[in-house]
Chains A and B, each alone.
Chain A
């Protein structure tokens, strides 16, 4: 967690991309977050987060093939990079470390 600061929402989005691995695009991420967290998010927020994650090198993207859905428009598919995966693991480890440090919790 030294070099990269990962905001709370960013972390959520990154996790959503990881969950939807292989089919993670804007709308899918929105759905994933809404389902998992039960709160509504704006598409704009998701896209901004995805952009920031890409700039930080945590995700990469490419345009997907054409499909019959969404009027033939293509999707931009995001995947978590190796670096992104490592950052996620680091975050989790840190959290665990802190959880473990709470006295009398486990």
Chain B
């Protein structure tokens, strides 16, 4: 053993010396050291060694950052280049496998990105306004939860609660007619709003002053797209528009179109001052009312305000409140989108369950894709055992091998991510139609979204790459190099089986979920609603109903028509009712429909007892009404015939029951059927329902339009078919259904892709086994069964897990509907057998190929 140079000096050298200089310098030092020991002795040599090392410091430091011909870390770059080369070669070598892996992952990522955008959109409703956290909508809880309050409240509130920062009156109208120049446009959704409105909500003002635009009467603020529609490239500011043939308005501002994630819906705003004087400002219980938004000062607990509401009500409307009880509530702005107690709103609230359900689906999909990846990569690892063996023999550390696996995963995930963005890009234009959510590609550029997507990618890489990495790096080099490894050596068989099972379970949960949503939808759309919906068209009665009536009578294409306040599928007129004689002292709420004598037969309502609606004779003071079953049940009758002739009160007006009809569904099926009263009252015939002969609907409709337009030159002809209207009531459900359909299809597709890849890899690995089995007399059929059996068993076990989980989740979802289906065994049976078919079909090609193979070929070489 030659003598060693001083340790301290060696350390020093290693510490400061750049790697590319180390070899030659150490060599020189060592040579001189050995030589000097011989010539001058150990001490002297050590001393000189130390001096040399110190003398080298400035040189080494100067050379530290220079790039000489030999780069600083030659081994690393070469190694990394090698990793890339090998990764690329494996990718190309296994085209089918790579294709399955990358497409599956890309589909999963794309679905995940789209769902995240949807969920983000839903959860950020109205949260972008600066004062969102202290903005509240004032609502009233009387007989019902009502999102709008009387116009009388706002002025009184301003006086009694001076601490409120802003109080804004917002009066939404579903439809308005604008006359620009000589053209008339019917616009869906506008609102009257006061000047505080633009202080409460932050809009993007393109022109005009946010603070003053809505201050004066007869002013209008347009959204950008509407301004373009009316004025093109001309400057809209200061131009005049006419609203509903009544108000001349001056354009005082332009705002950007509203984003998708707000509960507000309007195309233009008209200043509240324009209509304030026409409104009922005295009564607390008033038919007309609007949304009332208030902004509280910072750090003020809203309960301190709402605690004073009872006193506030008594002070202002003592008598009215004593007669009909009611309570004001403060609803936080950010809750509006999720609060399902209020159903009569501009935008339907969406339940948080639905949103979280979607998020779960996203999670499931990405999980399925990752499991695919893990399974395929682990199976693939066997093929690469030789590579790993050689790498290990040449001195690769375990963490280097794991790093390599993770690197390859990242590469695949990277390719998949690019593909996924491409898919998302293709899909986004359809999002509006399918899901009623406006998503744009630019949203992907927002920092939060980028962060979210990177998060998904990193999670995917770790999830999909770590396990195969560990398995691969855990091979013993001797075993890996000695023989062709089989599956058994992996030891991860149980894990893989577990993963496949998990995947099966996820797919089945999603299938069951989709089936439940589908049957609920079917129930919504096709169940007996209690009234006819075919070939009935609804339109406004117009200014001259008498003449129009005559025209309809003469039209041969019209089977029947009826004038009324509202068709059965509409619900917009409520009244309180009571019946002290039947023990109903408190007011209960009922729907009130003013109808004519054709109504019941045209809409196919079925009369259970008594007489239909008749014209009221002149001078008859007693109102005779037809009611529904729910109402008589409320009055304590079970038999319809018994209720005939009984008296009760609508408000303070006594009425007599002359007939009873079977319950019909006037609102969406979210809600229970309410008590309903039909009464003859020509004063409120606003709407015409027309039953058309099915053969010539188009022509008849054109004739009706011509007549109507002649009678109402100042208006725009609009009509709606009953079944279209019904479909609209359930847009939210059908969106949900669409989402489930799309995403479950993707999830099932990814699942089968994975299964396909896995089976083909296993088939290749088991070639010898199959050959031996065949030589020993196994039939092709029995081998095909052997292959399918394993997966079918896994699938069945997964089913036992999935079924109760899906049942639990979906019953929770169904609970939000007043009328819903029960999850019957048929749904489970369908799921199970469709999975069996899916599994058998997916693996049949590979298993048959394996079974039909000639054993001579597979056993020939060893």
Contact = CB atoms under 8 A, between A and B. Distances in A.
User: Do A and B come from the same complex?
Assistant: yes
Interface of A: 25-27, 30-31, 40, 42-45, 47-48, 51, 63, 69-71, 73-76
A73 B23 contact: yes
Nearest to A74: B23
A43 B24 contact: no
Contacts of B26: 70-71, 73
Contact of B31 (A27, A63, A76): A27
Q: Which of B24, B32, B48, B57 has the most CB of A within 10 A?
A: B24
Contacts of A30: 28, 32
B30 interface: yes
Interface string B32-70: 100100000000000010011011111100010000001
B29 interface: yes
Given A31-B35, A48-B58, A43 B27 contact: no
Contacts of A27: 27-29, 31-32, 35
A102 B63 CA distance: 44
Given A30-B32, A44-B59, A51-B59, A76 B24 contact: yes
Given A27-B28, A47-B59, 7 more contacts: A26-B24, A27-B31, A27-B32, A30-B32, A31-B32, A44-B55, A71-B26
A51 B59 CA distance: 9
A69 B52 contact: no
A75 B27 contact: yes
Contacts of A73: 23-24, 26-27, 30
A31 B48 CA distance: 13
Contacts of B31: 27, 69-70
> Which of B31, B32, B51, B57 gathers most chain A CB within 10 Å?
B31
What 8 A-B pairs are tightest by C-beta distance, nearest first? A44-B55, A73-B27, A26-B28, A42-B55, A43-B52, A44-B56, A27-B28, A76-B24
B52 A42 contact: yes
Given A73-B23, A74-B23, A43 B28 contact: yes
Given A26-B25, A48-B59, A51-B59, A43 B30 contact: no
Nearest to A48: B59
A42 B27 CA distance: 15
B855 to A, nearest CB: 53
A73 to B, nearest CB: 4
**Residue among B29, B51, B55 with most chain A CB within 10 A:** B55
Contacts of B24: 25-26, 63, 73-76
Interface of B: 23-32, 35, 48, 51-52, 54-59, 63, 70
A25 to B, nearest CB: 7
Contacts of B55: 42-45
A75 B29 CA distance: 11
Contacts of B56: 43-44, 47
29 contacts: A25-B28, A27-B27, A27-B29, A27-B31, A27-B35, A30-B28, A31-B35, A40-B48, A42-B52, A43-B25, A43-B28, A43-B29, A43-B56, A44-B52, A44-B58, A44-B59, A48-B59, A51-B59, A51-B63, A63-B70, A70-B26, A70-B30, A70-B31, A73-B26, A73-B30, A74-B23, A74-B24, A74-B27, A75-B28
A71 B30 contact: yes
B23 to A, nearest CB: 5
B3 to A, nearest CB: 13
A70 B31 CA distance: 6
B342 to A, nearest CB: 81
A48 B56 CA distance: 8
Nearest to A54: B68
A70 B27 contact: yes
B51 A47 contact: no
Contacts of A47: 25, 28, 56, 59
Contacts of A42: 51-52, 55
Contacts of B54: 44
A70 B28 CA distance: 8
Nearest to A70: B27
Nearest to A50: B59
Nearest to B32: A27
A40 B27 CA distance: 19
B109 to A, nearest CB: 48
B55 to A, nearest CB: 3
Contacts of A76: 24
Contacts of B63: 51
Nearest to A51: B59
Nearest to B22: A73
Contacts of B29: 27, 43
Contacts of B48: 40
Contacts of A74: 23-24, 27
Contacts of B58: 44, 48
Contacts of B70: 63
Contacts of A43: 25, 28-29, 32, 52, 55-56
Nearest to A49: B59
A15 to B, nearest CB: 19
A45 B56 CA distance: 7
A93 B27 CA distance: 37
B479 to A, nearest CB: 31
A67 B488 CA distance: 46
A53 to B, nearest CB: 13
Contacts of A45: 55
A69 B401 CA distance: 34
A73 B59 CA distance: 20
A73 B54 CA distance: 21
A44 B32 CA distance: 13
Contacts of A44: 52, 54-59
A63 B57 CA distance: 21
B828 to A, nearest CB: 72
Contacts of A75: 24, 27-28
A74 B58 CA distance: 22
A75 to B, nearest CB: 6
A48 B58 CA distance: 9
A45 B27 CA distance: 16
Interface-central residue, A31, A51, A70, by most chain B CB under 10 Å: A70
A27 B70 CA distance: 21
A51 B62 CA distance: 11
